[in-house]
Structure 1
């Protein structure tokens, strides 16, 4: 059984503080379901901006919203009417009280920028991710890894049903959603790009090589990446390089955020088919990174570390410029402390190190480094 979404208490807290709360996340992640099940202090009014009938109510937005000033107004798919942000600003300034508006946004690279221009100091943002380990039964890690965390994929009655849902999600995203968020281009070209990213999961970003393979310009391929990142489909993990004088890799690493979508894009249907592919290591790495960031959220900044000499660390948890934890991620049952990990910890002055692997019970590998399973690591947080 799936537990209540862990973001709920924080969401309720934001509603008690901010006049507007923005809940962002990919389509089909459960934003609308979560909001419709909220216990609100005031009566609510829900508007789905994908519906022409609801958009028509906002032709004179000021008049309509003033008539419902006593309600919490929920605006779903707000990126479809960004012109509302300026209107919301003036309404909030006239009647500044918490919990007036809830804005749900599926995907738009400039959604936060547009609203930040208009609603600075008036809105608090949260991101709703697909299910992560803290929200499911403890024995379902493998199911979450192979199916991903989108509710309708994870909760499907069979692997086949889950696979079909993900394939259709990708098709809909390419044929409809991209155009709605402002990327007007050939969906087949973006599909090829997305599949190339999937097959290079966790690789160092090289715009030039992607542009050559696709027959498009470097600015265009960077724009594609920006849209996929802004719509929560990919994670661009920045390199760590502060106060380090070695020659470092300075391009980011790119991951498909949800491993269920990663597997659908690469033709992986079962765990048996995954473990026999080279993709299994990068898939596990991306899965672990997503679980950690979904759990810790904004408590840390997140980076990777790599030198041109080969020293590497998959994930750094950084707070106030200090590397609190250096993490190496290995798809193995017998982890070893590598020289590259040791050098990375010395270079970054990490307080401690962890090798996250496929074991259940952790044990020390050195004075500062411990081997752990993912569930044990997350419990310790």
Structure 2
């Protein structure tokens, strides 16, 4: 049993807020986490994919009034967007009755409609939490290689072997394209979206070139933007923005794009074993994306992520601006040599970075020049979490 690091933060939020919205892609473990929380208190669980549960909420106030004082867990809440207005009224009414915290736990596969409806109706009444696939903190450093290869979706990571893991991910992708995305009311041919998703996997960590993608797909630039927005909204793709605060520098303006779960990227590319991954051209971009997702997950809540690249060649793979304003410059290299390029030092000096880290494939921390510290991924995550 792997304990999710979000368990404590969601329980803590429920002690201080009327409700929590827990977002994440399908099959990431939201329901399991919610049921763990519900088992420890007086709670009721409703799944909006079940017709019987949807029928219960056709007159939401009648049902929810009876549940006052209990935690109401509503799964796949985006399937009933009209429910948010009723929830707002319920929260306000319960506050007046003295039930101020721990009332609702709402689970959603992060669609644009969910974010829009909840932001419109529940502002100031709920806190938002993102449940990612397993991170290295949750699995332990000894599982770093299988976590990188298989990704962090529980069924994939915990599969009996690599072949079973790959088969699960292939089924997951097919189901998402053929059933889940159409369920959001989006009419995009599944084969076209799969080709687009696979193209992004081939360019893992590269700068977005919308014109090239549009040309290869035979669609318009607007269609490419729509496809990318969809995969970002569903938390399957990360669009890492460029740093933009240095107005006096000529900086790259295109975002970097990553398939957020390395295991899904490998499945889209037909990579099923560690040997195949290490021999594939995408290995560097895959490792960078894997590290970036883990580092962002470890960073304090409210941190802002970006990258830095100037026209002169100064570059930083990941910039994290922490809530207090501290700027962490992080270079990521799949190498055992703890060295960074001169461009990293130039960029870190230009930005006056508070911390300068190299995440590399070695197994120990090594001090470097210019305030740089080289360390394994897990050590960098621990350092970030303590910031």
Residue 168 (str. 1) matches residue 168 (str. 2): no
Q: 1:39 to 1:73 in 2, by over 3 A?
A: closer
- Aligned residue for 1:27, secondary structure, equals coil
Q: CA deviation at 1:274?
A: 0.8
Q: Would you say the 8 A contact 1:316–1:326 is kept in 2?
A: yes
* 1:322–1:350 contact (8 Å) kept in structure 2: no
Partner of 1:145: 148
Q: Which residue of 2 aligns with 1:60?
A: 59
Preserved CA contact (<8 Å) 2:237 2:258: yes
Q: For residues 14-49 of structure 1, give each alpha carbon's deviation from its aligned partner in whole angstroms, at most 9, with x where no partner exists.
A: 111111111111111111111111156752111110
> d(CA) in 2 for partners of 1:116 and 1:168?
32
Structure 1 runs (4+) greater than 4 angstroms displaced = 39-42, 320-323
1:349–1:313 distance in 2 versus 1, CA, 3 Å: same
Deviates more, 1:119-128 or 1:348-357: 348-357
The answer for the alignment partner of 2:3 in structure 1 is 4
Partner Cα distance (2:37, 2:247) in 1: 47
C-alpha contact (below 8 Å) 1:202/1:253 kept by paired residues? yes
- Secondary structure of 1:46's partner? strand
Q: Does residue 132 of structure 1 match 2:135?
A: yes
Higher mean C-alpha deviation, range 108-117 or range 252-261? 108-117
Q: How does 1:16-165 map to 2 (within 5 A)?
A: 16-38=15-37, 42-96=41-95, 97-165=100-168
Deviation of 1:149 after TM superposition, in Å, equals 0.4
Query: 1:333 deviation in Å?
Result: 1.1
In the alignment, does 2:361 pair up with 1:354? no
**Contact 2:19–2:105 (8 Å) recurs in 1:** yes
Q: CA deviation at 1:174?
A: 0.3
Which residue of the other structure, out of 163, 184, 197, is the alignment partner of 2:200?
197
**Matching residue within 350, 368, 377 for 1:374:** 377
> Which of 329, 340, 344 is residue 343 of structure 2 equivalent to?
340
RMSD: 1.5
How many pairs were matched up?
Answer: 380
Find the aligned partners of 1:99 and 1:182 in 2 and give their Cα distance: 32
Identify the residue that residue 209 of structure 1 maps to in structure 2: 212
How far residue 177 of structure 1 moved from its aligned partner, in angstroms, is 1.0
1:256-267 equivalences in 2 (<5 Å):
256-267=259-270
Stretch deviating more after TM superposition (175-184 or 314-323): 314-323
Question: Is residue 178–residue 190 contact of structure 2 (8 Å, CA) maintained in 1?
Answer: yes
Paired residues of 1:360 and 1:376 also in contact (CA < 8 A)? no
**Distance in 2 of aligned mates of 1:299 and 1:159:** 35
Could you say what secondary structure the match of 2:319 adopts? Answer: strand
CA contact (8 A) 1:211 1:218 kept: yes
CA contact (8 A) 1:20 1:102 kept: yes
- Residues 271-308 of structure 1: per-residue CA shift (max 9 Å, x gap): 11111111110000000001101112525211100012
TM (norm. structure 2) is 0.95
The secondary structure found in structure 2 opposite 1:95 is helix
- Structure 1 residues not aligned, in runs of 5+: none
The 10-residue stretch of structure 1 (79-88 or 241-250) with the greater mean CA deviation from structure 2: 241-250
Contact in 2 for aligned 1:328/1:355 (Cα 8 Å): yes
Per-residue deviation at 1:70?
3.3
SS of residue in 2 equivalent to 1:302: strand
Question: Cα distance 1:41–1:169, how it changes in 2: closer, same or farther (>3 A)?
Answer: closer
Give the whole-Å Cα distance in 1 for the aligned partners of 2:336 and 2:278: 14
1:318 corresponds in structure 2 to: 321
Residue of 267, 271, 274 corresponding to 1:271: 274
Give the TM-score taking structure 1 as reference length: 0.96
Cα contact 1:316–1:323 (8 A) shared by 2:
no
Give the counterpart of 1:291 among 294, 313, 330.
294
**8 Å Cα contact 2:300/2:322 also seen in 1:** no
Residue deviations 1:102-136 (CA, integer Å, cap 9, x gap): 10001302322211110111111111111101111
Pick aligned residue for 2:238 from 235, 240, 245? 235
